[in-house]
Amino acid sequence: MNLKRIKYFIDLVECRNFTETAKKNFVSQTTISQQIAALENKFNIQLIDRKQIPIEPTKAGWLFYAESVVLWKQYNHMKTSMENFQKYNTQLLSIEYAAITDIHSLLKFIPSFKENHPKIKLELNKVLLKDIAEYLQKGIYDVAVAFDSEFKGKEEILTHTLYSGRYYAAVSKQHPLFCFESISKDELYKYPLVMLNPMVIGDSYYLMIQHAMEDGYQPNILRTADDVETELFYIITENLIGFFPDNYDLADLKEEVRFIPIHDSHHTFKIEIGYLKNNSNPALYSFLQQIQNSF
């Protein structure tokens, strides 16, 4: 398989334009067209609908795109590992995370680890929460730091808890609940909610709904958002309630948004480190030992 073709296909799907894809890769538009056609001939299936403007992958094309992204990430992980070993005689430990709260939970272990293991290079990569477990299972990353919901039912993934906490209700200063020191489940579920899109946070979305059902309520999710910034925008501008982990730092929005504890709620979480039980990277075991010694 020509990996350049894989890269061209990924860029074409994301650029939606042959000309822009050619510019991005410093080749001619003819080259991109020929390489995509070669892929279609290889698999004997149409991957791109060229009649659409901007161009659109076919159903097969979307499937091929998802697999291509994984393959390209795996290739770059291997390439970086070998380059580091060859140039610096260092081992590489690749870490994936999805949110700033993951980093906060991890950072306290890093200084002592780097001091004890100067020959191990850490590489950090942000991915969508929904992709955390899949990328770990496919060997793209050595370690995942994420909410425990993403590792549930994955028998090949072992975990270690970094932090345990509760979800708080996030409300704007215009919301009727803003002045409350804490709220009951009855008070919480009177109001419409905003949550992150399940296409972004995966199983965590459905686990939040499950927790609400365990609280005895069907949540009224009025909006979904693709990122935390948009979620906070809707909380402030539309007076919706969001769920945020208790260790999230609001930074400059502390005057606009307040976190309120919820009485007797099932909305709890853990931030865990996940790793494949059959991962043979020696840097992983040094890393895990450092974390275990810190508890």
pLDDT at 160: 93
CA trace torsion 6, 11, 14, 16 (10° rounding):
-110
Structure tokens at 94: 């690749």
Decide: 270 and 143 in contact? Cβ < 8 Å. Answer: no
pTM tops 0.95: no
Specify the CATH number of the domain 3-72. 1.10.10.10
The DSSP symbol for 295 reads -
Question: What's the pLDDT score for residue 83?
Answer: 77
Q: Phi/psi at 188 (nearest 5 deg)?
A: -60, -50
Which of 168, 169, 172, 179 is CA-nearest to residue 239? 172
Distance CA 278, CA 274 (A): 12
Fold of 163-270: D-Maltodextrin-Binding Protein; domain 2 (3.40.190)
Find how far residue 24's CA is from the centre of its chain: 25
3-class SS at 9?
helix
Structure tokens at 168: 């708080």
The tens place of each residue's pLDDT in the chain, 295 residues long, gives 688 899 999 999 999 989 999 999 999 999 999 999 999 999 999 999 988 888 889 999 999 998 898 888 888 878 877 776 766 667 889 999 999 899 988 888 899 899 999 889 899 999 999 999 999 998 889 999 999 989 988 999 999 999 999 999 999 999 999 999 999 999 999 999 999 999 899 888 998 899 889 988 999 999 999 999 999 999 999 999 999 999 998 888 888 999 999 988 888 999 999 999 989 888 999 999 888 887 7
Please answer whether residues 166 and 269 qualify as being in contact, where contact means their C-beta atoms are separated by less than 8 angstroms. Answer: yes
How confident is the model at residue 250, as a pLDDT?
Answer: 86
Q: Distance between CA 259 and CA 240 in Å, rounded?
A: 13
Q: Return the pLDDT at 228.
A: 93
DSSP, res 256? T
User: The tokens 């909380």 sit on which residue?
Assistant: 235
Rounded CA-CA distance 69/197 in Å is: 21
Question: What gap in Å lies between CA 179 and CA 173, rounded to an integer?
Answer: 8
Domain boundaries of the chain, sorted by first residue? 3-72, 163-270
Give the contacts of 275 (CB within 8 A, at least 6 positions apart).
136, 142, 143, 144, 157, 158, 159, 284, 288
Tell me the one-letter amino acid at 61: G
DSSP assignment string, 159-217: EEEEEEEEEEEEEETTSTTTT-SSB-HHHHTTS-EEEE-HHHHTHHHHHHHHHHHHTT-
Q: What pLDDT was estimated at residue 57?
A: 92
How far apart CA 164 and CA 162 sit, in angstroms, is 7
pLDDT of residue 134: 92
Q: What is the pLDDT of residue 119?
A: 87
Q: What is the pLDDT of residue 136?
A: 93
